[in-house]
């Protein structure tokens, strides 16, 4: 790949930007030497039409010899429009590049995010593109999977409190998520305890200081709607569990 030298193209000192055909590729210097193999593997996954993980089944684990384990998410639309245009987006400022900027700043501020490793934009035409976002792979399971599999009330309460703490920190340090849901909170194990990583910052916004109460309420309301949609009877997340998550 050919490295872009334009200063305008630089998103962060830790990242390198390449151009190859109709693609813009931005990768952390830790994986920049694997750029060709990363693109080839993403092409292979796209061609295979394999079903991924996540609420839109668009995430895949990426394992390459000599590189850290990665997770790649293909940008996919939700709602009714997804039946017509599943993965094409319109605009000259691609969302994956903006997501990378937000995720890097969130990490710098000490918010519990999966390490951002890169973004790829594949141009399908003038201002028309497909996008991919890469992070370091995070072992564990989503909060939704966790509450359905762990029936120890003490452990469940601990994990919900950890999720609440991660969300509160996110709010205090100025990140508005835009799509906070049970699939975007990853439960990881740290030594003998658990911790939470926050995922998926597409359409998120970063503010200079702590979020206003209205933005905090919007994030939490989105989270509760997600929980009630997945668990309408409260079988896994009763009112008490939701109250823990909403405390801010």
pLDDT tens digits, residue range 67-124?
Answer: 999 999 988 765 544 445 567 888 888 999 999 999 999 999 999 999 999 999 999 8
Give the range with max mean pLDDT: 11-20, 55-64, 168-177.
168-177
Instruction: Give 85-142 as a DSSP string.
Output: -SS-EE-SS-HHHHHHHHHHHHHHTT--BPPEEEEEEEEEETTEEEEEEEEE---SEE
Q: What is the pLDDT of residue 124?
A: 86
Radius of gyration of the chain (CA): 18
pLDDT tens digits, residue range 53-66?
Answer: 765 667 889 999 99
Q: Give the fold, CATH level 3, of 141-246.
A: Transferase(Phosphotransferase); domain 1 (1.10.510)
Give the range with max mean pLDDT: 133-137, 151-155, 189-193.
133-137
Q: Is 218 exposed, middle or buried (0-12, 13-18, 19+ CB in 10 A)?
A: middle
Q: What is the pLDDT of residue 25?
A: 94
- Domain boundary assignment for the chain: 2-136, 141-246
Q: What is the pLDDT of residue 138?
A: 92
pTM of the entire predicted model:
0.87
Tally helices (H) and strands (E) across the chain. Answer: 6, 13
Q: Mean pLDDT across the chain, nearest whole number?
A: 87
Average pLDDT over residues 131-148: 94
pLDDT tens digits, residue range 119-139?
Answer: 999 998 888 998 999 999 999
Q: What is the pLDDT of residue 150?
A: 84
Rounded CA-CA distance 32/24 in Å is: 13
Q: What is the pLDDT of residue 6?
A: 35
Q: What is the pLDDT of residue 8?
A: 34
Average pLDDT over residues 28-33: 94
């Amino acid at each position: 790949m050919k490295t872009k030298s334009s200063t305008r193209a630089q998103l962060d000192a830790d990242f390198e930007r390449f151009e190859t055909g109709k693609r813009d590729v931005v990768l952390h210097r830790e994986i920049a030497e694997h750029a060709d193999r990363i693109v080839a593997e993403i092409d292979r996954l796209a061609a295979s039409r394999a079903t991924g993980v996540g609420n839109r089944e668009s995430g895949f684990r990426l394992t390459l010899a000599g590189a850290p384990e990665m997770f790649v998410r293909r940008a996919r639309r939700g709602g009714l429009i997804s039946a017509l245009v599943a993965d094409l987006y319109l605009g000259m400022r691609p969302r994956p590049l903006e997501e990378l900027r937000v995720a890097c700043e969130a990490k710098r501020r000490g918010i519990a995010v999966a390490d951002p490793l890169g973004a790829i934009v594949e141009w399908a035409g003038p201002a028309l593109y497909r996008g991919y976002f890469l992070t370091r792979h995070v072992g564990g399971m989503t909060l939704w999977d966790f509450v359905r599999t762990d029936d120890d009330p003490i452990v469940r309460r601990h994990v919900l409190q950890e999720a609440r703490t991660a969300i509160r920190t996110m709010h205090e340090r100025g990140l508005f998520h835009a799509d906070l849901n049970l699939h975007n909170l990853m439960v990881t194990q740290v030594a003998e305890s658990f911790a939470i990583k926050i995922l998926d910052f597409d359409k998120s916004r970063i503010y200079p200081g702590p979020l206003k109460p209205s933005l905090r309420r919007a994030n939490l309301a989105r989270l509760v709607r997600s929980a009630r949609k997945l668990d309408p009877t409260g079988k896994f997340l009763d009112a008490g569990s939701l109250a823990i998550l909403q405390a801010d």
